[in-house]
């Protein structure tokens, strides 16, 4: 650890000597494009988000990745794109409808939408090209996803029987005529549009019908082993529906059947100023979420233009919102194959996170002696679970307070909170009901906790509570001591094995007092408070970041060591970006590790030539937020729940906490920043034009993969 501390100081010292040139402020610059015209110093956020999904898709193309994991990456890129349309494209549509202004990137809503659809369609075509590339590789490994043409007679008989006995009874086909208008189509549901000829039982001529696939039906069907010849054989529900569609319309001649899917706006709209009960209001909104405005239409590539036109009219979509696909419209559902196939050699090798050599009943003593740092997924999440479990049963524990944003199903943490309440502890839980796509689960969680006597708080009207905090109050020798857990990630045992995050366990009195005051703010009507250790959104974090960036700029102008290294999920807040440009012009060397959307243009002469931005996409989802400031060879390292985005810094309740122990700070720097800046296998460098280039080892250079190196070093 002492060597890591030396590395932290050396980084600040060496890079500070690169120069302290003074440049005009960023606001005075117009970035020149190749044709000599000026362009905005900021990139488009939405196009940058699509670029992230392109990097995810690149993992599906990487031959060094096990084939079932490549399928999983492909499906993740599809799921990500769904959410992109449900949220970001929906936001741009809203701006277009209500006269939104031109963004900092210089694009108005109409232009932005045009570019988004063009780029997203390119991504979709690349996804389906990769789907067809993966199918033979999967088949060669003994995992087959069979098209109807490949079904043998026994498989076809089995599937027809399955269709008649389990699928057909739950279908409700709807013929389209004046008495049967176009039905409501649920967001992201699987549907089939069918063209028929002939007369039905009432003598009516039929031409068009819609078949909706209920969500109770399996989207991926595994054939029994006796029909697979030793392979793992699967058939997609969409293929079964279209293959046996004639049985849905007996006596009619089916001329064609084409699957389709619509993606809708999923942003809930709740007027918090006009409501009395947030949970009740959200329940009402959730009921209609699946039928909000359509954003895009996915349909089979061979569907006739007339049918596509009819669907577009019903969904009130423009032509550029059509995504013709050569494969299943719900491609993301193929991820179920990954879970259904028990073939370890086709997946990432398992690993066992490092566990603290501390018994649960010794955790309080150990935390009291020194801070404990947890770096997930390489460190086990068990100490957090064990601490809460011990607190629930310890007679000396008087109170427990915790924030919950996403917890996952059947969370053991929730069970410990309930047990604590039943054991007479004062338990308060701040649940963020508006955690996107987890609203319904969080409402159920809140109801369950309240039934167990837990005091449930829904946070602050107008501000999502995104902070990750746990506070335990314990009586020790007739005094009260506070134990705190702060984290960059959610209290979710599942994601703790799949996401990279930093957690800190401490009994520091100032940390305890700060977290106590924050819980008072969230559960009561306390005013803004002055915290001793923590920074907080929406009050102090944004201002503090600007000051720390400006401090580095002053050091650089004075010829002192000046450097910034930061890691986050997204960078789009214009105030922070302008401050970074200012610092770059002063000569500060800035390294940013931004997983997803980044609106900052790096490497622009006279504006950002000392800024480097990279993204790392690998086995684990990069989720930790870590900010390091050289501070004239007295470095500061902070971890946070907040990205450098407008919503996180100005419209949410977030926490940012310093790592004060020098050895722990050195460890965080080495494991979350330094090695990621050295990564030359899974890193992508952002170019000034918004494109990303994959970093590759140079001749004679050792290949470095940050995630794999940490796995080999820290896990068994």
Query: Which structure tokens are listed for 166?
Result: 């389990």
**Rounded Cα–Cα distance for residues 25 and 27 (Å):** 5
State the catalytic residue, choosing from 117, 232, 466, 542: 466
On whether the CB atoms of residues 628 and 637 are closer than 8 A, the answer is: yes
3-state secondary structure of 435: coil
Inter-axis angle of helices 574-586 and 541-557, nearest 10: 10
**Rounded Cα–Cα distance for residues 600 and 611 (Å):** 9
**Rounded Cα–Cα distance for residues 414 and 428 (Å):** 12
On whether the CB atoms of residues 708 and 644 are closer than 8 A, the answer is: no
Q: How do 625-629 and 692-694 pair as beta strands?
A: unpaired
On whether the CB atoms of residues 378 and 353 are closer than 8 A, the answer is: yes
C-alpha closest to that of 262 among 303, 323, 206: 323
On whether the CB atoms of residues 50 and 77 are closer than 8 A, the answer is: no
On whether the CB atoms of residues 489 and 495 are closer than 8 A, the answer is: yes
Q: Under 8 Å CB-to-CB from 519, ≥6 apart: which residues? A: 401, 428, 430, 469, 471
3-state secondary structure of 683: strand
516 is catalytic: no
Q: Under 8 Å CB-to-CB from 584, ≥6 apart: which residues? A: 23, 590, 607, 608, 609, 610, 611
Give the helix, strand, coil percentages of the chain, each rounded to 5.
40, 20, 35
Q: What are phi and psi of 658, to 5 degrees?
A: -80, 150
Helices (H) and strands (E) in the chain, counts: 21, 29
Q: Which residues pair with 145 in a beta bridge?
A: 234
C-alpha closest to that of 246 among 282, 195, 289: 195
Going from the C-alpha of 233 to that of each of 51, 142, 227, 332, 708, the distances in angstroms are: 33, 8, 8, 18, 32
Q: Following CA atoms 671, 673, 675, 676 in sequence, which dihedral angle do they give, to the nearest 10 degrees? A: 120
Task: Indicate which residues carry an active-site annotation.
Answer: 466
């Amino acid at each position: 650890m002492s060597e890591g501390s030396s590395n932290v100081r050396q980084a600040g010292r060496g890079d500070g000597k690169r120069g302290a040139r003074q440049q005009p402020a960023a606001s005075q610059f117009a970035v020149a494009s190749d044709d000599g015209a000026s362009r905005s110093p900021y990139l488009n956020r939405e196009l940058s988000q699509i670029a992230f999904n392109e990097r995810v898709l690149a993992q599906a193309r990487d031959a060094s990745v096990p084939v079932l994991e490549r399928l999983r990456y492909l499906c993740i890129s599809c799921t990500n794109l769904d959410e992109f349309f449900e949220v970001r494209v929906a936001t741009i549509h809203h701006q277009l409808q209500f006269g939104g202004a031109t963004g900092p990137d210089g694009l108005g809503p109409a232009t932005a939408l045009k570019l988004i659809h063009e780029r997203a369609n390119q991504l979709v075509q690349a996804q389906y090209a990769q789907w067809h590339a993966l199918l033979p590789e999967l088949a060669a490994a003994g995992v087959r996803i069979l098209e109807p043409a490949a079904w043998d007679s026994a498989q076809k008989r089995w599937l027809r029987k399955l269709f008649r006995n389990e699928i057909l009874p739950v279908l409700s086909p709807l013929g389209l005529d004046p008495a049967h208008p176009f039905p409501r189509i649920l967001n992201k549901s699987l549907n089939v549009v069918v063209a028929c000829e002939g007369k039905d039982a009432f003598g009516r001529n039929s031409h068009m019908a819609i078949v909706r696939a209920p969500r109770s039906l399996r989207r991926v069907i595994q054939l029994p082993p006796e029909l697979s010849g030793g392979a793992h054989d699967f058939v997609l529900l969409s293929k079964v529906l279209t293959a046996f569609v004639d049985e849905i319309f007996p006596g009619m001649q089916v001329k064609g059947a084409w699957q389709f899917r619509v993606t809708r706006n999923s942003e809930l709209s709740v007027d918090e100023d006009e409501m009395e009960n947030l949970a009740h209001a959200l329940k009402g909104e959730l009921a209609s979420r699946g039928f909000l405005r359509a954003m895009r239409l996915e349909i089979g590539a061979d569907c006739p233009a007339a049918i596509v036109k009819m669907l577009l009219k019903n969904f009130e979509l423009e032509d550029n919102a059509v995504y013709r696909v050569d494969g299943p419209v719900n491609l993301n559902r193929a991820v179920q194959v990954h879970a259904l196939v028990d073939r370890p050699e086709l997946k990432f090798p398992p690993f066992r996170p490092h566990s603290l050599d501390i018994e649960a009943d010794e955790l309080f003593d150990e935390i009291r002696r020194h801070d404990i740092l947890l770096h997930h997924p390489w460190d086990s999440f068990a100490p957090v679970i064990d601490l809460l479990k011990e607190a629930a049963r310890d007679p000396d524990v008087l109170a427990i307070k915790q924030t919950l944003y996403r917890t996952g199903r059947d969370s053991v943490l929730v069970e410990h909170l309930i047990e604590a309440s039943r054991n007479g502890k004062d338990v308060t839980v701040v649940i963020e009901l508006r955690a996107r796509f987890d609203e319904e689960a969080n409402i159920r969680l809140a109801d369950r906790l309240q039934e167990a006597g837990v005091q449930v708080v829904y946070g602050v009207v107008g501000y999502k509570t995104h902070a990750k905090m746990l506070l335990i109050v314990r009586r020790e020798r007739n005094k009260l001591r506070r134990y705190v857990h702060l984290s960059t990630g959610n209290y979710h045992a599942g994601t703790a094995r799949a996401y990279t995050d930093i957690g800190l366990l401490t009994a520091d009195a100032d940390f305890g007092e700060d977290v106590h005051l924050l819980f008072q703010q969230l559960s009561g009507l306390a005013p803004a408070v002055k915290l001793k250790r923590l920074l907080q959104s929406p009050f102090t974090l944004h201002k503090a970041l600007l000051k720390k960036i400006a401090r580095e700029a002053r050091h650089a102008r004075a010829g002192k060591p000046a450097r910034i290294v930061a890691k986050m999920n997204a960078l789009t807040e214009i105030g922070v970006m302008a401050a970074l440009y200012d610092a770059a012009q002063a000569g500060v060397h800035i390294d940013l590790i931004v997983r997803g959307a980044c609106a900052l243009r790096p490497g622009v002469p006279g504006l950002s030539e000392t800024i480097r931005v990279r993204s790392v996409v690998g086995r684990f989802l990069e989720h930790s937020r870590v900010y390091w400031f050289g501070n004239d060879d007295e470095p500061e390292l902070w971890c946070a729940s907040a990205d450098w985005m407008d919503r996180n810094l100005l419209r949410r309740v977030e926490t940012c906490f310093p790592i004060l122990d020098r050895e722990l700070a050195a460890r965080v720097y080495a494991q979350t920043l330094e090695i990621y800046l050295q990564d030359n296998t899974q890193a992508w460098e952002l170019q000034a034009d918004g494109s990303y280039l994959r970093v590759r080892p140079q001749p004679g250079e050792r290949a470095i993969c940050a995630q794999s190196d940490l796995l080999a070093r820290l896990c068994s």
